[in-house]
A and B are shown apart, each in its own frame.
Chain A
């Protein structure tokens, strides 16, 4: 039996069509001109206990709405959700006991209080006994060294510290499922790495099911075996990450700024690359913005260092950037049938 079962889930919002200007705003007071927006439009999936699932999609795809329905905040317009065989929104208080949620943009810590007090209050709210609480805090202290922060007010924490504390808080009552909504938003690489380690460790140690929504494909790559891609309220892909990995994992774009760039530069670059790496190199060369040439490579076929070295030694390059493929790009490629 799956821990989370979702069947044909839909959520439609009624939105008032607002008019422009002051007179428009006045007319809106009496307006009945609503349009229906399908935030989530008939999705179905099952998630087993102990899975880490990446739930990804561009902004406005319907990720947060789905999470809000799973946590019982929103009621579905249509379809069913069962978590541990219960409907989240009919028995919210009981269901909340088995869930943990981190909203990356919000904190559940008490803003004005030392962090440890927030944990103590949550301990009471979730009825966690002292022994479990101590063990949990010790474990987190070992993982990320939180003890030094205990006496600080939450508002004085850095974004990364706050996020680590929020994650600690969401796992405090040992929930069966944890929803992480953009847990790495706005964080630097080292904190991201720390957070990924913590999530992985908790999943391994306690077999906690984790639903992770993120914009950072690095998170997905590091944590998830399974990925669900959603856009415009519909599921585009649900399956093994390995298949999707080919779309973003192996691809890198080397952006180079070549001195004395002219019309022939791209053609000559293409020719030289074919000479060096053979016909089947899978390298795409394009000029995307002024002065920048994009060389997109598939690392499975040609090593990044070889191509980079080759370009650098054959052309006078004044600037280089290496970028990962973006979420929007992946979604576009999925639309274009990249996953068959």
Chain B
């Protein structure tokens, strides 16, 4: 385990090297939130609620939504595809390490860095400058857990797409399709409340909303109660395990192809 923690520390440090990148990411983020703030402020002028949501709730949903979505993009598909294409994967295969775990911890490292460098400042800005108050409840406690599941699921999907690099010399198309499906069915593009009931019921069981909608619910409506959260978490746990098994099988198969046909 210590060796994977070293990888995690490594990618976190890479993040720090490019501190200017973070600087601009934070500025961009704050700018976005600022614009959204004034936009919705004027929409809410003289009104208490819109479609049952208060101004405060809308702000939390949009601002945290963009933060969570940003954190859950792992880019593992692009990174792994690149490593396969350029033959860099050979330098990992000569190490006493599992490549999939290596890739996962590399993602965890850069995500941890993003949380500290981008998300936390953004949230502090929201609380202390924009005076947005967050609701409290059991959801906030469940959020870290749910976020980790979401991250692992997102990683597995990206890892799966990245591995296609063994079969196809370009994963660009597959990756774009994945991105669109994920955006749409996870509720990142259109909030899930706008979907017809029947489709929403199906989506509940798919891994997409477990990536985005579930952890976001925990922070935007943390007082929804355990009866709402437990089934959602259960779906996340199911997909986490299922996707780990699935990517594992695919990885073993893909690595066999590499072993036989060369990189």
Q: A14-B261, A103-B90 are in contact. Are A125 and B13 (CB under 8 A)?
A: no
* Contact status B18-A112, CB under 8 Å: yes
* Contact status A121-B9, CB under 8 Å: yes
Q: Residue of A at shortest CB range from B90?
A: A73
Interface of A (DSSP majority class)? mixed
B100 to chain A, nearest CB (A): 12
Q: Indicate if B50 sits at the interface (CB-CB under 8 A).
A: no
* Contact status B7-A72, CB under 8 Å: no
Contacts of B259 in A (CB 8 A): 73-75, 89
* Contact status B9-A93, CB under 8 Å: no
Q: Indicate if B91 sits at the interface (CB-CB under 8 A).
A: yes
User: Per-residue 0/1 for B79-114: is the Cβ within 8 Å of any A Cβ (1 yes, 0 no)?
Assistant: 000000001101101111110000000000000000
A89 to B258, CA, bound (A): 12
Q: Indicate if B260 sits at the interface (CB-CB under 8 A).
A: yes
* Contact status B6-A121, CB under 8 Å: yes
* Selected interface stretch from A94-102, A132-140, A285-293: A94-102
Contacts of B13 in A (CB 8 A): 113, 117
A124 to B4, CA, bound (A): 8
Interface bin, chain B:
20 to 34
Contacts of B96 in A (CB 8 A): 93-94, 96-97, 125-126
B15 to chain A, nearest CB (A): 9
Q: Residue of B at shortest CB range from A96?
A: B96
CB contact between B90 and one of A13, A106, A121 (< 8 Å): that residue: A106
CB contact between A124 and one of B5, B98, B260, B263 (< 8 Å): that residue: B5
Q: Indicate if A203 sits at the interface (CB-CB under 8 A).
A: no
Q: Indicate if A27 sits at the interface (CB-CB under 8 A).
A: no
* Contact status B97-A125, CB under 8 Å: yes
Q: A75-B260, A93-B97 are in contact. Are A124 and B2 (CB under 8 A)?
A: yes
Q: Indicate if B249 sits at the interface (CB-CB under 8 A).
A: no
Contacts of B261 in A (CB 8 A): 13-14
Most B Cβ at <10 Å: residue of A68, A106, A124? A124
Contacts of B87 in A (CB 8 A): 106
Q: Indicate if B17 sits at the interface (CB-CB under 8 A).
A: yes
Q: Indicate if B46 sits at the interface (CB-CB under 8 A).
A: no
CB contact between B6 and one of A97, A112, A125 (< 8 Å): that residue: A125
Q: Top 9 A-B pairs ranked by shortest CB distance?
A: A124-B6, A75-B259, A96-B96, A125-B3, A101-B94, A121-B6, A112-B14, A97-B96, A93-B96
Please name 12 pairs of A and B residues whose Cβ atoms are closer than 8 Å in the assembled complex, sorted by A.
A73-B259, A94-B96, A96-B94, A99-B94, A106-B90, A110-B10, A112-B17, A112-B18, A113-B17, A120-B6, A125-B6, A126-B3
